[in-house]
Chain A
Amino acid sequence: MCLAIPGRVDEIYESGGARMGRVNFGGIVKDVCLAYVPEIAVGDYTVVHVGFAITRLDEASALQTLDTFREMGLLEEELGGSS
């Protein structure tokens, strides 16, 4: 739960009154709550912590970090937990 991971917002939708998104983390796609970053739009990069987008991120630094995380094998480890 400690890592916050950058990902690209592929889709935005409403669920239970909350603004949600499908966020792509270098191939792994997760449902993420976008309520705390109302300015986020489809195609934007964001940083996600425990299923919540917490900030907007520029694409270059997002991709660089995704590469580093992938290189270190951290992506699936962090995103693997599911019900």
Chain B
Amino acid sequence: MKYLDEFRDADVARRLSDDIHRMTTRPWAIMEVCGGQTHSIIRNGIDQILPPQIELIHGPGCPVCVTPLDVIDQAMAIAAQPGVTFCSFGDMLRVPGSAKDLFQVKSEGGDVRVVYSPLDAVKLAREKPDRQVVFFGIGFETTAPANAMAVHIARREGLTNFSMLVSHVLVPPAIAAIMTAPRNRVRRSWRRATCVPSWACGNTRRWPNASGCRSSPRASSRWTSSKASGGPCGSSRRARRASRTPTSAW
């Protein structure tokens, strides 16, 4: 099946695994920040083939996980309205609100579209002047400029049928809270460790030094509240608990 076979290429996996085993000469506690990474790690059993010296710690999340429940409920309410074309990154469609998710709204007749870029939503608004096009503007530092540009272009073009439901959060305050916690076990050289995929993951780029980062109460409370909202990464959290059992022997 497409996208599954590629992940199950034993030769590639073995080569990468051998490289990691060869390079791991001492214990490492590594935190992956993005819930999408956590999901892939657990789904593909990567945590099971890593050297025992490597401990993966999951968190603090991703735009999907950290979007508060009330914002997700607002998205459902807007998407269900007649005359609205609701646009979202695909990741958000599975995130459960209080009663349903966007997939369910779509199956009940809501006009919910998956877009790759916020500019795709602006394009839709341009093409469908009779529809109110609403983009679900979620994300961290790297997504906010893209969403801002969509608003800028829509305004400059005088589009009156484009709007955005916005929920942006900051990564550094969450990282700072973790790194300065008395019981933190993530290694201080985390910055170097994240350099490997730093530009490959849109949300893990160029963090300032955590110790120099002042916590933002707004972002912190949003992050905390998100922990109750669940989402696709909720399954990761459950998987994480399950995976803790074998890893506790590490």
Contacts and interface: CB of A to CB of B under 8 A. Distances in A.
Given A1-B202, A83-B115, A54 B153 contact: no
Nearest to B36: A2
A64 B143 CA distance: 25
A72 B36 contact: no
Q: Categorize the interface residue count of chain B.
A: 35 or more
Interface SS, A side: mixed
Interface stretch (B2-10, B21-29, B96-104, B238-246): B2-10
Contacts, number: 105
Interface residues of A, number: 32
Nearest to A65: B200
Contact of B149 (A30, A33, A65, A81): A33
Nearest to A83: B120
Given A1-B89, A2-B62, A50 B7 contact: no
Interface in B108-129: 113-124
Interface in A1-57: 1-4, 16-18, 30-33, 35-36, 47, 49-52, 54-55, 57
A83 B87 contact: yes
B153 A3 contact: no
